[in-house]
Amino acid sequence: MTVAIAGADDPVILEVVEQALELGIANFLLFGQAESISLQSPNIRIIATSSEQEAAEKAAEAVVNKEADILMKGNLPTGLILKTVLKREYQLRAKDLLSHVSVFEIPAYDKPLIISDVAMNIAPNEEEQIQITHNAIEVARKLGIKKPKVAILSAVEKENPKMHSSVQAAQVAAYFKAFPDSEATVEGPLAFDNAISKTAALHKNIVSEVAGDADILIVPTIEAGNILYKSLVYFAGARVGGIIAGVKVPVIIASRSDSADNKLASLILTVGMIGK
């Protein structure tokens, strides 16, 4: 595998590259300010760029031209790499809607937990939330979860016409229920606690296959998702890997403040999913 990193001039990213080289999982094309990239290895090539925009475009072109297999965001804004991936001339879109999917390993939860969309779609409407759910299910299945249990989150488990996210969650769940043979069980609205805690679900008398045992949480907005993501990392000791789903090539988007460990997790997650 060859990974093109846009904005590789960053100590944390270089630590990730070093660790990945030690593990022998990838070769790298490093795009960024060459004077700040001190690594030397036969398995890396440094391509000097003079702006963040140029780094994003050159790295994207490397995957478009098949010089690299994976595109990874380094030290540049998330919006910039997302806008670059969306450029029509690159023809990187495989689905109508691209979305961010993060996979968590949380000490207090007994299995991986997928959360989407915490970093790309800002305030998805019903149709977009359905596509976000499809994309997350596809990732879960690639990770070996045969029939993922999906909770469409709100702040409550009953529809409240005054709370838009609860109404939309019910509509998204109804859409999936119309296909009973589908590859996932989707329910909503569910509040965070009754999606992931059997005790909380029992307490509220929620009888559901998903409640208390979710594999996937679909959040109503980027703000809710981003705050949940960062709470899990900072307060719950979670490890996380993040990718963009719906693109023809794997795209890794970890937050700039993520640790080297979490960025390496994103890379390992992506390499593991290729070809599945």
Pick from 94, 108, 122, 202: which binds ligand COD (CB under 6 A)? 122
Q: What is the distance in angstroms between the CA of the first residue and the CA of the last residue of the chain?
A: 15
Instruction: Return the CA Rg of the chain.
Output: 19
Q: Does 121 bind ligand COD (CB under 6 A)?
A: yes
Residues that bind ligand COD (rule: CB under 6 A) add up to a total of 13
Q: Which residue, 19 or 226, is less far from ligand COD as judged by CB?
A: 226
Compute the least distance from the CB of residue 72 to ligand COD, in Å: 15
Q: Residue 264, Cα to own-chain centre: how many angstroms?
A: 14
Compute the least distance from the CB of residue 120 to ligand COD, in Å: 5
Residue 188 main-chain phi, psi, to 5 deg: 180, 160
Q: Does 86 bind ligand COD (CB under 6 A)?
A: yes
Q: Which residue, 125 or 160, is less far from ligand COD as judged by CB?
A: 125
CA–CA distance, 138 with 246 (Å, rounded to integer): 9
CA–CA distance, 86 with 98 (Å, rounded to integer): 9
Compute the least distance from the CB of residue 228 to ligand COD, in Å: 12
Q: Does 116 bind ligand COD (CB under 6 A)?
A: no
Residue with tokens 């805690």: 197
* CB of 225 closer than 8 Å to CB of 118: yes
Compute the least distance from the CB of residue 41 to ligand COD, in Å: 29
Q: Does 97 bind ligand COD (CB under 6 A)?
A: yes
Q: Which residue, 226 or 259, is less far from ligand COD as judged by CB?
A: 226
Q: Which parts of 242-261 interact with ligand COD (CB under 6 A)?
A: 255
Pick from 16, 60, 76, 82: which binds ligand COD (CB under 6 A)? 82
Q: Does 120 bind ligand COD (CB under 6 A)?
A: yes
* CB of 71 closer than 8 Å to CB of 254: no
Pick from 8, 98, 201, 211: which binds ligand COD (CB under 6 A)? 98
The secondary structure of 177-245 as a DSSP string is HT-TTSSSEEEEEEEHHHHH-HHHHHHTT---SSTT--SEEE-SSHHHHHHHHHHHHHHS--EEEEEEE
Q: Does 83 bind ligand COD (CB under 6 A)?
A: yes
Residues 170-209, one symbol each (x = binds ligand COD by CB under 6 A, - = not), give: ----------------------------------------
Neighbours of 163 (CB within 10 A): 16
Q: Which parts of 123-142 interact with ligand COD (CB under 6 A)?
A: none
Q: Does 119 bind ligand COD (CB under 6 A)?
A: yes
Residues 6+ apart with CB under 8 A from 165: 153, 154, 155, 189, 220, 221
CA–CA distance, 182 with 173 (Å, rounded to integer): 12
Q: Which residues bind ligand COD (CB under 6 A)?
A: 78-79, 82-83, 86, 97-98, 119-122, 226, 255
